[in-house]
Amino acid sequence: MTEQRHAHNGLPEFHLHGPDNDQSKSKVLRVTRNITIVIVLLMIFGLGKTLFSRWSYGDVLAARAEQNVLLHVLVTKPAPAGKSGTTAKVVLPGTLLGINEAQIYSRVNGYVKQWFKDIGDTAKKGETLAVLDIPEVNKQVEEATANFELAKTVYQRWKRLREQDAVSQQELDEKTGIYKQTEAVLKRLRDQQSFGTVVAPFDGTVTRRNINVGDLVNAGNTGTAQAMFSMAHLDKLHVYVYLPQDRASQVRVGEEIDIFQTNAPDKPIKARIARTAGAIDTNTRTLQVDIEVPNANHALMPGAYIEAALKIDSGNTLIVPTNALIFGAGGPYVAVVVDGKAEKKKVSLGIDYGMSVEVRSGVTANDEVILNPPDSIVSGQAVVIETPPAPPAKRGS
């Protein structure tokens, strides 16, 4: 081949002139043309097949496109709160208190001479808790006793003289006044002297002792540090809770409720609403509720934190599942189906029960509320209500 190209000055054979060379060139062109025709025919065949397929499946594609635009949803209807199986309750925190609690102070100044009750000890009403040494009051009683005895003697003497008409009635009245005055002073000081014995004001348990022998105590309740003892009646406890204003009209005095301790949340304790304040506190906009708790076995302790579950009359409110809510910039919404189209409605929520929530306004009991609505759903969007599949039958039924 190389020798031929050298022989023809480096040109291929079909570039040469002459009958033989012209025939070779024509052959190459004919082959190229045939290949091009085959390729074009194949392309035309493929294009025709594609167009035919699209034409034949045009209706199917249109139907599928229409189906893809529709939103298939499951719906539910709001249920009245009283018939939904949900018990309306408001859980409020509180602190247990003894039905009677008192800080016990001294009525006179003195020193602690002896104490008889320590923390945890029980005491009956009037039982001695401590004895104080009150020397100043004792001296005042001695002085008042002497003045009283003198005034009494003078009064008796002037009374006999008046019977003999030896003195005037005015003089006898003066002596009588002095006698009654000293008697009143002596009685007052003896009452103060009796305050040297500190007694229990009611049946209960000593919950705090703040004194020791020799301590100086001051009269009056001038501060917590001056309190000698703290006592509480433990057979019955009570707790104050504060109900929001919008629920104030939905509690009933005498109604039984449950309270829970944090260490035993699955063991409710029965209690009773004893009374309410009957007025809203203007500072907190709440209603004070007093709850009484029986405690005959002393299992509960004053000062313990509890939670009270108050039953609430839910009235005409409705309940919807929480997975039906849509939260947007304007607040909570639900989507309902109206004439085959979605419609978003703004709702006002009440008590959250976990899997369901109270709806105070925005929907009616006849609305078909969409479950698990997408965030992109808009009013006017076409929807198709699907029927949920029936639950599988249990074996053996």
Q: What confidence tens digit (pLDDT) does each residue in 133-186 have?
A: 999 989 999 999 999 999 999 888 888 888 888 888 898 888 899 999 999 999
115 plus 224 within the same structural domain: yes
DSSP character at residue 177: H
For β-strands 383-385 and 71-73, DSSP reports them as: parallel
> What CATH number should be reported for the domain holding residue 325?
2.40.420.20
- List the beta bridge partners of residue 311: 89
374 plus 304 within the same structural domain: no
Answer whether residue 254 is part of any domain: yes
Q: Which of 199, 230, 261 is the last residue of a domain?
A: 230
Q: Sign of torsion, CA 365 366 372 373?
A: negative
Helix (H) or strand (E) holding 236: strand 236-244
Q: Which of 311, 331, 346 is the last residue of a domain?
A: 311
* DSSP per position, 264-298: EEEEEEEEEEEEEEEEEETTTTEEEEEEEEE-TT-
Measure Cα distances from 121 to 114, 205, 207, 234 in Å.
Answer: 16, 6, 8, 12
Q: What are phi and psi of 165, to 5 degrees?
A: 60, 35
Q: Which conformational region is residue 339 in: left (phi greater than 0), alpha (psi within -120 to 50 degrees), or beta?
A: left
- Highest mean pLDDT pick, 15-24, 138-147, 350-359: 138-147
| pLDDT(352) > 80 | no
Amino acid letter, residue 82: G
CA–CA gap between residue 229 and residue 117 (Å, rounded) = 9
147 plus 264 within the same structural domain: no
Alpha helices of the chain — where are they, by DSSP H? Answer: 2-7, 19-56, 58-69, 135-163, 169-194
Let me know if 346 is exposed, middle or buried by CB neighbors in 10 A (0-12, 13-18, 19+): middle
162 plus 194 within the same structural domain: yes
Q: Per-residue pLDDT tens for 213-263?
A: 999 888 865 544 578 999 999 999 999 999 988 888 888 889 899 999 988
Mean pLDDT computed over 104-109:
89
47 lies in which domain range?
2-55
150 plus 206 within the same structural domain: yes
Q: Which of 230, 246, 266 is the last residue of a domain?
A: 230
End-to-end distance of the chain based on CA atoms, in angstroms? 93
109 plus 213 within the same structural domain: yes
82 plus 96 within the same structural domain: no
222 plus 339 within the same structural domain: no
pLDDT at 129: 94
Answer whether residue 171 is part of any domain: yes
Answer whether residue 93 is part of any domain: yes
Answer whether residue 63 is part of any domain: no
Q: Per-residue pLDDT tens for 32-86?
A: 888 888 888 888 877 777 777 666 666 655 556 555 567 888 888 888 876 554 5
pLDDT at 168: 87
118 plus 222 within the same structural domain: yes
Confidence category of residue 25, pLDDT binned at 50, 70, 90 = low
pLDDT at 226: 76
Count the domains in the chain: 4
Q: Measuring CA to CA, which residue among 67, 298, 130, 343 is closest to residue 205? A: 298
pLDDT at 209: 92
Answer whether residue 19 is part of any domain: yes
Answer whether residue 391 is part of any domain: no
CA–CA gap between residue 314 and residue 78 (Å, rounded) = 14
270 plus 379 within the same structural domain: no
185 plus 206 within the same structural domain: yes
CA–CA gap between residue 304 and residue 325 (Å, rounded) = 38
Contacts of 288 by beta carbon, 8 Å cutoff, 6+ apart: 240, 241, 242, 276, 277, 281
335 plus 354 within the same structural domain: yes
> What CATH number should be reported for the domain holding residue 289?
2.40.30.170
Answer whether residue 62 is part of any domain: no
Helix (H) or strand (E) holding 88: none
